[in-house]
Structure 1
Amino acid sequence: MAKVPAAYQASRGSILDVDRDFYSRLTYPAARTRVETLTVPIREGLAWEVPAGHVLRLSTQEGPQVGDFNLWHRHNPRERFWASRTRQLQRAHVSTWDRLWSTLPYLRPMATIIDDTMSAYGVDEEGGRVHDLLGTRCDPYVNKLLTGEDFDHHCHSNLVRAVASFGLTEFDVHDVLNVFQCTGLNEDDQYFMKACPAREGDYIEFFAEIDLLCALSCCPGGDLSVDLWGPNAGDPLATCHPIGVEVFKLDDTLLEGWEPPQYAPYAGAHGLRGPAVDWTAEKRRRFA
């Protein structure tokens, strides 16, 4: 079968054309200092800050575990991770060199993946891949529809609790990056999930392009080896493990010449009539 080209293609030198030499240097252990270490407990969520120019590592501490990841601009939560556009600009399962993009009208890279021990997994015999953008977080609303039961520790609820201390609410929680999660589409074009192939110590690293507020839920489904719904559903508690969070400060010399990405430069008014407004300048004024 002939390979169909991607719909969204970058021109050389565009913001999609990643400087791999620069980001590779950021992975050198000798060029970084760990400044924060956290643990996301099983079936819970956690939120934390990552300053621009720092590196975030998420790791499977005791065994395979899926996590649901949200990001916001720390100073303006209206700018948040846009899973569907990231899926279009990058791919449906992300890895090293892919970027996580923010919502309109900002549309800029929030973080760049610089290292991923799962990158060698590739595509398995059933079409499964790791670090999923096809699906979204599990939530108590769908669970109630499917089972008739209330459960307060789905990823959506975990994220809601995690960000409450930062002044955010359920309306701020959004579609996620499912880290370490193996998924795909079956022959009926339906979404499937497989057992997480990560092992203890696997990790994925992100370079914070802007000041970030991050939140992660340790999925109550654990490694997803036990069905959550349907005739074979069981209790996956025994498959649940914590996820580690580490934040690293980089040596200043590594960041020489780097600057946080600017907002998307579209400066029009969407065809609306009225006084001319430079929307790019207005975004900078309000949210820089």
Structure 2
Amino acid sequence: MTKHYPAAYQVSKGAALSVDKTFYGRIRERQEARTLIESFEVPIRSGRAWKVPAGHLFRVTAPKGPQVGDFNLWNANDPRERLWAARTRQLQGAHVSTFDRLWSNLPFLRPLVTITDDSLADYGVDEHGGRVHDLLGTRCDPYINKLLTGEDFHHHCHSNLVRAVLPHGLTEFDVHDVLNIFQVTGLNHDDLYFMKACPAKPGDYLEFFAEIDLLCALSTCPGGDLSLPMWGPDAKDPLEVCRPLGVEIYRLDDSLLEGWKQPERAPYHGLHGLQLGKATWEA
């Protein structure tokens, strides 16, 4: 039997990683205290970007059945602050669900969103160790496709996200590691990344509370529900298993936001050991 080994990142002072489950649970439960202000679908093999004000709620949905979505996040007012997938893996887990948070990069290091609801929360861990909504892998891209197949394909998630953010003044250099929504992944016995068929059914969703003003971007993966291999000797074009994804944005009643405030940037304001332009080293 494998011994449970403790997580490396643990709080030694204060409550930096604590989540007010009563507050976020109330948001999830009081469906009557939200107003739908915008909804749209992202067509197959495409991407779209949108903004969400702080204190609002949004959902990514599977309106027509299983489909994987690659999701990016930025501070809408300063896109230098963006989702940090690696640190989120360390603080929350390689797969996320209700009450988990997506954290931003340095020097900001604060929650961008808190997950308030997940219709696939009961998926758990399958017989191969797979879990849903992963931060293990990253977006598919035309560079790796060319490397593996020798062919050009312009609608990988990286390319979809690039096209989506261009109207917002961002470029390919701003697209970063993603949250793979509705995607089941894990590590096999060779410690290599695997993907499985998406378990989402029509109407499934992952719901987020915006902790700050956000720019979001979503790609409908060209692999569709990932039930067909995209690479390797059995690879084929999975166009037949591609479906759109939906986005819904909600304004919350003021009563739900009582006591909430936007998270502040990380409190470290040191100079990384630098003083007066010179490095100082302490034994």
- Same structural fold, with TM-score higher than 0.5 when normalized by the shorter chain: yes
Indicate yes or no: 2:30 matched with 1:5. no
What SS does the corresponding residue of 1:162 show, helix, strand or coil? helix
Find the aligned partners of 1:260 and 1:274 in 2 and give their Cα distance. 33
Partner SS, residue 60 of structure 2:
strand
Q: Which runs of 5+ in 1 are unaligned?
A: 276-288
Q: Which residue of 2 aligns with 1:184?
A: 186
Gap change, CA 1:6 and 1:41, over 3 Å in 2: same
- Structure 1 residues 104, 68: closer, same or farther in 2, change over 3 A? same
- What's the counterpart of residue 86 of structure 1? 88
Separation in structure 2 between the aligned mates of residue 11 and residue 20 of structure 1, nearest angstrom: 21
C-alpha RMSD over aligned residues: 1.0
SS at match of 1:26: helix
The residue number in structure 1 matching 2:266 is: 264
State how far apart, in whole Å, the 2-side matches of 1:228 and 1:202 are.
24
- Gaps in structure 2 of 5+ consecutive residues: 278-283
- Number of aligned residue pairs: 275
Structure 1 partner of 2:206? 204
Determine the C-alpha separation between the residues in 1 that align with 2:121 and 2:12.
Answer: 25
Aligned residue number for residue 231 of structure 1: 233
Match of 2:53 in 1: 51
- TM-score computed with the length of structure 1 as normaliser: 0.94
Q: Deviations 1:213-268 (Å, cap 9, x if unpaired)? A: 00000000000000000001011111011100000000001111111000000010
The one-letter amino acid paired with 2:253 is D
Shift of the alpha carbon at 1:124? 0.2
Q: Which residue of structure 2 lines up, in the alignment, with residue 285 of structure 1? A: none
Number of the residue aligned with 1:284:
none
CA distance in 1, matches of 2:41, 2:276: 51
Partner of 1:17: 18
1:124 to 1:159, Cα distance in 2 relative to 1, 3 A: same
1:66-145 to structure 2, matched below 5 A, reads 66-145=68-147
Q: Distance in 2 between matches of 1:176 and 1:10?
A: 25
Q: 1:100 corresponds to which letter in structure 2?
A: L
Q: Which amino acid aligns with 2:210?
A: A
Counterpart of 2:280 in structure 1 is none
- Residue identity in the other structure for 2:165: V
- Structure 1 outlier segments of 4+, above 6 Å: none
Q: CA deviation at 1:152?
A: 0.6
Q: Matched residues in 2 for 1:214 and 1:15: separation?
A: 25
In 2, distance between residues paired with 1:71 and 1:248?
17
**In the aligned structure 2, how far is the partner of 1:102 from the partner of 1:172?**
14
In 2, Cα distance between the equivalents of 1:195 and 1:267? Answer: 45
Q: CA deviation at 1:10?
A: 2.9
Change (3 A) 1:238 1:57: same
Q: 1:198 to 1:13 in 2, by over 3 A?
A: farther
Aligned counterparts of 1:271 and 1:71: Cα–Cα separation in 2: 31
Q: String of CA shifts for 1:87-116, please: whole Å, max 9, x gaps.
A: 000000000010000000000000000100
Question: Which residue does 2:216 correspond to in 1?
Answer: 214
Distance in structure 2 (CA, Å) of the matches to 1:134 and 1:46: 23
Q: Give the Cα–Cα distance (whole angstroms) in 2 for the partners of residues 16 and 273 of structure 1.
A: 31
Q: What SS class does the counterpart of residue 144 from structure 1 fall into?
A: helix
- Identity across matched positions, percent: 69
